[in-house]
Structure 1
């Protein structure tokens, strides 16, 4: 059997098992192409959280990383949430623990905690709001201006939000996604020099985001061609913009969907090595095994889930 035939067989079996179990497949934009292609909902963290909250399916197969499946389980305690590979973790989520957050809160009594969705359920349970890159600015702007904010765990997203909102009473945790942090200003400068007419799309988690904001403010990057966006908004922009070339500063998995939506446009990675190994762990075989064997059920204890749910629901409601 050829690879194409094997893939077709797997896709057919997945569809059969999905119908048999009344399941929905949610996949993040960074997953491998063949997993993106079988998703019922493909999107960024906010879109997937909303889809998880609204689905009528009995089973949610979450093709992403562990914290995403946890979020779906918190929103759907009565449903079965499956993560096809339990090893699919997140270096950013690992950059702060619940104990570290408790200590940080004790040092800033009365502060409002805004946690990026890339965190564990235990950290979300200690937070007032969750956010994603697409609504972090809106969430911080919704909090009274005189209220101190603890923003965690991504320092690059935090710096972006602080600049966009002008908040000087915002404390930022020094965490990072090792993949996004590896997209440096030098990478962007080199690729943009080779493609001067391209639109530059930068994820605010990236190591180049701070320099891009500075270069924008100094006129070193053209405002009409430079856009700091969530992954979901990157997809929208690349589809609607008149540009024919785009330099993409985020994890490279998103380029598959961009190219699929825009076959006549060209997409160039700012750093071709920006590959998240965790996002690439889930395969068609693992999706099928999860459905057939009810494998890798993700649960969150009720006390933690109840505490985390309010922060997640606030995230879904804003922006």
Structure 2
């Protein structure tokens, strides 16, 4: 712990973001993490976008909602969520009696921040009879004002299962909302103009160029990406073989990676945050998984460093809590999602 210090970090949408540094994720570090984890009776969760050494030390790696549901079923007293803040909130919502820690409480999310509870309340007042459908990538306060949550893998099913004559307020991701509107054919969906700055930066022209350079490659595209609509357009115009285009959540990418490996695919172009490549390559090492945009790295996810995780387990910081009434309302929105559509894994 004497080597741990706060250092200047990545540049995010609001400027410089500091990180905990001073410790390397080596074998000595891994042994100490395991010792501290056992001492606290903790379970370590890591999102697919985390640093490789964080993913490798975790008990469970995957989508945020799937991780929260897994943690709720364990006998751990402490959940250490290596991800961004709203993910730790979701874990607390589903495990109110457990202590939830995040290795760096400043690890935020540009998508979750793009729709605040105050903004949603005002939007609802303008459409008092509408059903609010919120992507799981939102704060607890926004979930508390939501009728039903969704993930990228079940958003279409959730919306399709709602009464056809009801207006829908869908937020905060505009690219996922456009995908849902296109797939359901509904014209009574109002979509919030929010975005993940990392996914939004994966552009249509970039996708077209990479696809042209790799004419035989499959395309794994997250619906949050700025290139999602372009991929559908290019497939419709015959520029890209429609059979190559796969709109997938991160969890679905892992399943599809196994299929690609079994089918002997040579190259798969991946449009999502680059941390996902570590998991994909582990599932199908014989496939060349290449990023559509190699600069698509989330500075907030990368704030969960080996030093941050060590500090978290050694000191019991940073604890995440959600007010009981907010958590109760948010939990109902998640439970309604499971009753309306398939549970889905996460974003």
Shorter-chain TM-score bucket reads: over 0.9
Instruction: Answer with 13-22 or 107-116: which moved more.
Output: 13-22
User: In the alignment, what sits opposite 1:232?
Assistant: 251
Q: CA RMSD in A?
A: 1.6
User: In the alignment, what sits opposite 2:334?
Assistant: 312
TM-score, normalized by length of structure 2? 0.88
Contact 2:99 2:319 in 1 (8 A): yes
User: In the alignment, what sits opposite 1:219?
Assistant: 238
Contact 2:116 2:142 in 1 (8 A): yes
- 1:288 equivalent in alignment to 2:307: no
Cα separation, partners in 2 of 1:274 and 1:226, compared to 1, 3 Å: same
Unaligned runs of 5+ in 1: none
| Cα deviations by residue, 1:95-132 (Å, 9 ceiling, x for unpaired) | 11111111111111111100011111111100011111
Partner of 2:243, secondary structure, is: coil
Q: Distance in 1 between matches of 2:201 and 2:142?
A: 25
User: In the alignment, what sits opposite 1:176?
Assistant: 195
Cα separation, partners in 2 of 1:5 and 1:308, compared to 1, 3 Å: closer
Q: Which residue among 294, 298, 322 is the counterpart of 1:300? A: 322
Contact 1:29 1:257 in 2 (8 A): yes
Cα separation, partners in 2 of 1:211 and 1:39, compared to 1, 3 Å: same
Contact 1:49 1:316 in 2 (8 A): no
Unaligned runs of 5+ in 2: 1-21, 343-347
Partner of 1:175, secondary structure, is: coil
| Cα deviations by residue, 1:9-59 (Å, 9 ceiling, x for unpaired) | 111111112122211111110000000111111111232232233222110
- 1:99 equivalent in alignment to 2:118: yes
Question: 1:197: how far off?
Answer: 0.6
Q: Distance in 1 between matches of 2:242 and 2:327?
A: 42
Contact 1:45 1:132 in 2 (8 A): no
Q: Which residue among 32, 35, 49 is the counterpart of 1:16? A: 35
Q: How many residues are matched?
A: 317
Cα separation, partners in 2 of 1:6 and 1:28, compared to 1, 3 Å: closer
Contact 1:248 1:267 in 2 (8 A): yes
Q: Distance in 2 between matches of 1:207 and 1:261?
A: 26
- 1:149 equivalent in alignment to 2:140: no
Partner of 1:92, secondary structure, is: helix
| Cα deviations by residue, 1:77-103 (Å, 9 ceiling, x for unpaired) | 110000001111000111111111111
Q: How is 1:52-67 mapped onto 2 (pairs within 5 angstroms)?
A: 52-67=71-86
Cα separation, partners in 2 of 1:303 and 1:88, compared to 1, 3 Å: same
Q: Distance in 2 between matches of 1:53 and 1:132?
A: 18
TM-score, normalized by length of structure 1? 0.96
